[in-house]
Structure 1
Amino acid sequence: MSQINILWVDDEIESLKSQIIFLESKGYKVSALTNGYDALEFLKERTVDVVLLDESMPGITGLETLSKIKEIDQQIPIVMITKNEAENVMDDAIGSQITDYLIKPVNPNQVLLSLKKIIDNKRLVAEKTTIAYQQEFRSLFMALSSNPDFNEWMDIYKKLVYWEMEMTKTNSPEMLEVFNAQKTEANTEFAKFISRNYSDWLHPKATEAPVMSHNLFRNKVVPNLDPNVPNVFLLIDNLRYDQWKAIQPIFQESFRLVEEESFYSILPTSTQYSRNAIFAGMLPIDIEHKFPQEWKNDDEEGGKNLYEEHFFAAQLKQLKMDPRFSYTKVTNHADAQIMLNNIHNMLDYPLSVIVYNFVDMLSHARTEMEVLKELAGDEASYRSITASWFEHSPLHQALKRISDKKINLIIATDHGSVRVKTPVKVIGDKQTTTNLRYKHGRNLNYDPKEVLAFRDPRDAGLPKPNVNSSYIFAKGDGYLCYPNNYNYFVNYYRNTFQHGGISLEEMIVPFARMVTK
């Protein structure tokens, strides 16, 4: 284990020499300073593992120093050492996020125990996580090898998300590499599973099929509507299951989780297809047939998601449900403020629908803005930025405003996204669509091993605008690139989050029901 660096700040540091020698004999490196000003300058230049901080110092007090240290590094563990047992002093210290506190005079072993508790706790958590995943690795390997059905695939993906989030505790590049290899293998097998089963699921008489976009409302939302309280159906666009797990604790500050499941997004896993399918309660081929004026294919001019409210009203009518509902779509900050101001009025309806586009905008913007490439460079940071957004969002504010009312909150999404790494070469004519995870066109040229192809889109429940129309879908972490300007586009889009294709991250998405506490 590398040497642990301690900074001890006390205006009577000379009297603590024997304690410092004791700690150094135990393998710690101790830097000693006599005042808060020097400590702050020290920490601007160097990294330490723990700060031991005297509460009562002349010039700048321990509490003032503590506050300024947290401005430099929010995560640094700080042990407050004080002569003062007054309750308000300790309340201030604990409120400022100290890790531990000791009362003077301190015994050397007291200090040692506090340090071990802080430092070894991180190490023990990391070691325990590593050992637990090593044991789970074989279990996941066996599950992947046992021809899982659609329910088992949902369980496998949830376990993978759990371990991906646990891996942040290990700080082990080697273990993360092992995990990522297992997730890649899982996505390879999942693509084969989808290729074998997807068309069968869409058959009207299919007896074995998961809940999917086009029957989500009928099969999952309707049975969970409460006739005695206002119901809010919140659809957060492009929300992966791991992102849901990142924001779930923030929801649970005001709401109690009643049910959490997942369902399958239809293909393409993109807003135009999967979200229209949710609100219409039908596959895209059927939407085009029933609403020929409203449905727009990829190659047609006009907005692709302008009629969700119209589709939804028709679905309620078809299900013989109460036709009263409010519909709010948020695609920018101005929309968000209107929703925030209007949230109480929505509760006058038996059912309120809120479509919130932020996560989708983030993933699209990420490919265009260098700052977002830095902020959301991998799965962990993508989860982190999603949680930070939600915590400070008008959506969170709006939900808190109604958390004192009895409401039934149903949360879902339309599709997820996957971080793409592997370019796949495709040739198409000028009418071919531009999406990186699926292509739709008349003259597509590709390696059939690298994509799932539907030469007849109707087999995938999709419209067929032309006689020669076909669809292809990227698998795993692949992304579809044209030969012209190939290297530029390969480098530009590598490691960006995209959707439209076949992956666990895009297709297996969250569904949750919550009630106010």
Structure 2
Amino acid sequence: MIYKGHIIWVDDEVHHLKPHIMFLESKGYKVSSVTNGIDADSLNKKNRYDLVLLDQNMPGLDGIETLKKIKSHRESIPVVMITKSEDEWLMDEAISQQIQQFLIKPVSPNQVYIACKQILEKNRIIQDKTSADYLQDFQKINQDIDFISSPDAWWNLYLKLVKWQIKFEEHADLSLQNILADQIKTCNQLFTRYIEENYEHLINDKTQSLFSPAIFEKYAKPILEKKNKVCIIIIDCMRCDQFLSIYSHLESLFNMDISYHLSLLPSATPYSRNAIFSGLYPDELIKRYPKQRDLFSNSSQGLNKYENELLIDQLSRLKMEDKKVHYHKIWALEEGKRFSKKINNFLDKDVLALVVNFVDMLAHDSSKMEVLKEIIPDDIGYRHTVKSWVKNSWFNDVLKQLSESNFEVIITSDHGSVKVNREVMVSADKDASSGVRYKYGRNLNTRSKNVIKIDEPQKYRLPAFGPQFNYLIAKNDSYFLYPNDAHKYKNKLLDSFQHGGVSMEEMLVPVIKMKGFK
């Protein structure tokens, strides 16, 4: 019989509980028993029990006093209180001491067994079930993957894979996590092939609303047409798995619905975020705003400096120029704190647009600071860091205030990021852009097959700045290096999180529609 844990049962009438104890032992538990709290406290200091079953009414120390002594020695030990008392004050006191369950006598052996099983075997049962379910899903995904032929189908597949990632953080062994990682890698290769073969058609199909330029018209416009207020929050560089890691937290504040959009190529802020605010593709943007051409052609750092103007112009084209707008970009902790304190000043607006740069800064700085590489060495570390920030920063205060307001909230990103580990050598002139996962300039070249080379930018709705102008877009987990300084930058960029290329993580971006319970 498999050993399932050691239980200590503390009850002054434990001799009446022999059938219960024998039943637990028949199920694989070792059960020790004592008749008073003093002995229970003494034994707890000498032995490592997995669970305490505790009565309230005992001579000497009562159950609550015993519970406090046991917890003072080992706070994490789980406790089930089993007592005749139905007093609510006792229930409240026991719950405040973080007991796992409260059972009222008389109890059957099976009731006690179920309580013990739920506490001591829960993780194993969930892990076994999770593993079995994933292995079944693994087979189905492998059968279906070759027949995926639409962005919607790719989104549904990716969402399923990300949900498994979240589940596996707590309830899977390392071997299954490795299997899932390999499956995601395979899916990414096929997704990249799909994008390479279909992107030109998709982006030129005027009947679709999949890409970044359609977000405001598709999601915000219907809210404004109903005379409601809308807040659109763009968390720069936030990935689907990071959104899902905070989903349950957001659910505590809002009713929610999740959808998606496709980031433009390159999957980078100057293209995708400008497209969200302007409602225009990059080739349209530079025609309408010649100053953007100058910024692009000079590889300027201020490529997103006109987002407020772009949003107001888009509203005008949508015949909503009467809407009151406030745009706010938050790039630092103190600025976020200031905004959260004065958000009430903007609740009279029809459109509140927020850009939050924390996740993007985290990705960029992880390639520069060794301490950040240790904090976010992988996808799990990255998710945990983002989740902790959302729940404990000024941003959570903003979410709470929005949930209590009249605003409907749309939260999304311009693109995601991917961890890179395969270098690709490229040749370029001195005026080429400096991107790690995408480059543009004159006569860019590479021999690698891990690159999409765009020699006719207009077919991809991208601007061209002169003859022989082209783009290189990294595929899968590759990144660009120049041969003359490859060694210097390889050590810096290897295993860092980057964006601009083709991958599910970068291009399949959640759009979450939220409304408070008010």
Shorter chain as denominator, the TM-score bin is 0.7 to 0.9
- Judging changes above 3 Å, is the alpha-carbon distance between structure 1 residues 108 and 211 closer, same or farther for their aligned structure 2 residues? closer
- Residue aligned with 1:414, SS: coil
- 1:160–1:183 contact (8 Å) kept in structure 2: yes
Once residues 460 and 441 of structure 1 are traced to their aligned partners in structure 2, the CA distance between those partners, rounded to angstroms, is 15
- Which one-letter code corresponds to 2:214 in the other structure? N
- Which one-letter code corresponds to 1:264 in the other structure? L
- Judging changes above 3 Å, is the alpha-carbon distance between structure 1 residues 65 and 275 closer, same or farther for their aligned structure 2 residues? farther
Alignment-derived partner of residue 200 in structure 1: 201
Alignment-derived partner of residue 369 in structure 2: 369
Once residues 491 and 31 of structure 2 are traced to their aligned partners in structure 1, the CA distance between those partners, rounded to angstroms, is 46
**TM-superposed deviation, 1:200:** 2.2
- Judging changes above 3 Å, is the alpha-carbon distance between structure 1 residues 194 and 402 closer, same or farther for their aligned structure 2 residues? closer
- 1:8–1:31 contact (8 Å) kept in structure 2: yes
Residue by residue over 1:376-418, the C-alpha shift from the partner in whole angstroms, topping out at 9 and shown as x without a partner, is 2332332232222111222221232243333221222111112
- Judging changes above 3 Å, is the alpha-carbon distance between structure 1 residues 313 and 487 closer, same or farther for their aligned structure 2 residues? same
- Which one-letter code corresponds to 2:141 in the other structure? L
Once residues 152 and 28 of structure 1 are traced to their aligned partners in structure 2, the CA distance between those partners, rounded to angstroms, is 47
- Which one-letter code corresponds to 2:149 in the other structure? P
**TM-superposed deviation, 1:468:** 2.9
- Which one-letter code corresponds to 1:338 in the other structure? R
Q: Name which of 38, 59, 62 aligns with 2:67.
A: 62
Alignment-derived partner of residue 228 in structure 1: 227
Once residues 373 and 79 of structure 1 are traced to their aligned partners in structure 2, the CA distance between those partners, rounded to angstroms, is 42
- 1:11–1:35 contact (8 Å) kept in structure 2: no
**TM-superposed deviation, 1:185:** 1.1
- Which one-letter code corresponds to 1:364 in the other structure? H
- Which one-letter code corresponds to 2:452 in the other structure? L
Alignment-derived partner of residue 98 in structure 1: 99
- Residue aligned with 1:261, SS: strand
- Residue aligned with 2:386, SS: helix
- Judging changes above 3 Å, is the alpha-carbon distance between structure 1 residues 260 and 103 closer, same or farther for their aligned structure 2 residues? closer
- Which one-letter code corresponds to 2:331 in the other structure? T
Counterpart check, 1:509 vs 2:509 = yes
Once residues 504 and 222 of structure 1 are traced to their aligned partners in structure 2, the CA distance between those partners, rounded to angstroms, is 27
Counterpart check, 1:497 vs 2:497 = yes
Q: TM-score scaled to structure 2, two decimals?
A: 0.85
Counterpart check, 1:211 vs 2:210 = yes
- Which one-letter code corresponds to 2:131 in the other structure? T
Q: Name which of 267, 270, 282 aligns with 1:272.
A: 270
- Which one-letter code corresponds to 2:146 in the other structure? S
Residue by residue over 1:200-223, the C-alpha shift from the partner in whole angstroms, topping out at 9 and shown as x without a partner, is 2232xx256452112222233212
**TM-superposed deviation, 1:124:** 2.0
Once residues 422 and 127 of structure 1 are traced to their aligned partners in structure 2, the CA distance between those partners, rounded to angstroms, is 35
**TM-superposed deviation, 1:149:** 1.3
- Residue aligned with 1:513, SS: strand
| Superposition pairs of residues 434-473 of structure 1, within 5 angstroms | 434-473=434-473
**TM-superposed deviation, 1:265:** 0.6
Alignment-derived partner of residue 305 in structure 2: 306
| Superposition pairs of residues 102-117 of structure 1, within 5 angstroms | 112-117=113-118
Once residues 87 and 180 of structure 1 are traced to their aligned partners in structure 2, the CA distance between those partners, rounded to angstroms, is 49
Once residues 364 and 201 of structure 1 are traced to their aligned partners in structure 2, the CA distance between those partners, rounded to angstroms, is 30
- Residue aligned with 2:296, SS: coil
User: Which one is further off, 313-322 or 190-199?
Assistant: 313-322
- 2:64–2:94 contact (8 Å) kept in structure 1: no
Alignment-derived partner of residue 240 in structure 1: 239
Once residues 361 and 381 of structure 1 are traced to their aligned partners in structure 2, the CA distance between those partners, rounded to angstroms, is 15
Once residues 356 and 342 of structure 2 are traced to their aligned partners in structure 1, the CA distance between those partners, rounded to angstroms, is 15
Once residues 79 and 503 of structure 1 are traced to their aligned partners in structure 2, the CA distance between those partners, rounded to angstroms, is 48
Alignment-derived partner of residue 426 in structure 1: 426
- Which one-letter code corresponds to 1:272 in the other structure? P
- 2:82–2:102 contact (8 Å) kept in structure 1: yes
- Judging changes above 3 Å, is the alpha-carbon distance between structure 1 residues 128 and 22 closer, same or farther for their aligned structure 2 residues? closer
- Judging changes above 3 Å, is the alpha-carbon distance between structure 1 residues 87 and 307 closer, same or farther for their aligned structure 2 residues? same
- 1:262–1:511 contact (8 Å) kept in structure 2: yes
- Which one-letter code corresponds to 1:138 in the other structure? Q
- Judging changes above 3 Å, is the alpha-carbon distance between structure 1 residues 451 and 31 closer, same or farther for their aligned structure 2 residues? farther
| Superposition pairs of residues 145-156 of structure 1, within 5 angstroms | 145-156=146-157
- Which one-letter code corresponds to 1:238 in the other structure? C
Once residues 60 and 475 of structure 1 are traced to their aligned partners in structure 2, the CA distance between those partners, rounded to angstroms, is 62
- Which one-letter code corresponds to 1:161 in the other structure? V
**TM-superposed deviation, 1:351:** 1.3
Alignment-derived partner of residue 260 in structure 1: 258
User: Which one is further off, 480-489 or 338-347?
Assistant: 480-489
Q: Which runs of 5+ in 2 are unaligned?
A: none
User: Which one is further off, 355-364 or 378-387?
Assistant: 378-387
Alignment-derived partner of residue 190 in structure 2: 189
- Which one-letter code corresponds to 1:143 in the other structure? D
User: Which one is further off, 378-387 or 58-67?
Assistant: 58-67
Once residues 53 and 474 of structure 2 are traced to their aligned partners in structure 1, the CA distance between those partners, rounded to angstroms, is 54
Once residues 46 and 401 of structure 2 are traced to their aligned partners in structure 1, the CA distance between those partners, rounded to angstroms, is 43
**TM-superposed deviation, 1:275:** 0.5
- 1:9–1:34 contact (8 Å) kept in structure 2: no
User: Which one is further off, 302-311 or 225-234?
Assistant: 225-234
Residue by residue over 1:237-269, the C-alpha shift from the partner in whole angstroms, topping out at 9 and shown as x without a partner, is 222122222222222222212x32101010111
Alignment-derived partner of residue 88 in structure 1: 89
- Judging changes above 3 Å, is the alpha-carbon distance between structure 1 residues 317 and 59 closer, same or farther for their aligned structure 2 residues? closer
**TM-superposed deviation, 1:486:** 3.8
Counterpart check, 1:291 vs 2:293 = no
**TM-superposed deviation, 1:502:** 0.5
Alignment-derived partner of residue 315 in structure 2: 316
Residue by residue over 1:457-496, the C-alpha shift from the partner in whole angstroms, topping out at 9 and shown as x without a partner, is 3332222234233211111222223334545644443333
Counterpart check, 1:165 vs 2:159 = no
**TM-superposed deviation, 1:451:** 0.8
Once residues 50 and 471 of structure 1 are traced to their aligned partners in structure 2, the CA distance between those partners, rounded to angstroms, is 62
CA RMSD of aligned residues (A): 3.5
- 2:10–2:52 contact (8 Å) kept in structure 1: no
- 1:54–1:62 contact (8 Å) kept in structure 2: no
- Which one-letter code corresponds to 1:252 in the other structure? E
- 2:450–2:475 contact (8 Å) kept in structure 1: yes
Once residues 37 and 371 of structure 1 are traced to their aligned partners in structure 2, the CA distance between those partners, rounded to angstroms, is 44
Indicate the percent of aligned positions where both proteins have the same amino acid.
34
**TM-superposed deviation, 1:15:** 9.4
Alignment-derived partner of residue 121 in structure 1: 122
Once residues 2 and 363 of structure 1 are traced to their aligned partners in structure 2, the CA distance between those partners, rounded to angstroms, is 46
Once residues 508 and 107 of structure 2 are traced to their aligned partners in structure 1, the CA distance between those partners, rounded to angstroms, is 55
- Judging changes above 3 Å, is the alpha-carbon distance between structure 1 residues 433 and 28 closer, same or farther for their aligned structure 2 residues? farther
- Judging changes above 3 Å, is the alpha-carbon distance between structure 1 residues 496 and 22 closer, same or farther for their aligned structure 2 residues? farther
- Residue aligned with 1:145, SS: helix
Once residues 375 and 9 of structure 2 are traced to their aligned partners in structure 1, the CA distance between those partners, rounded to angstroms, is 34
**TM-superposed deviation, 1:503:** 0.6
- Residue aligned with 2:291, SS: coil
| Superposition pairs of residues 330-341 of structure 1, within 5 angstroms | 330-341=330-341
- Judging changes above 3 Å, is the alpha-carbon distance between structure 1 residues 417 and 58 closer, same or farther for their aligned structure 2 residues? same
Once residues 468 and 51 of structure 1 are traced to their aligned partners in structure 2, the CA distance between those partners, rounded to angstroms, is 75
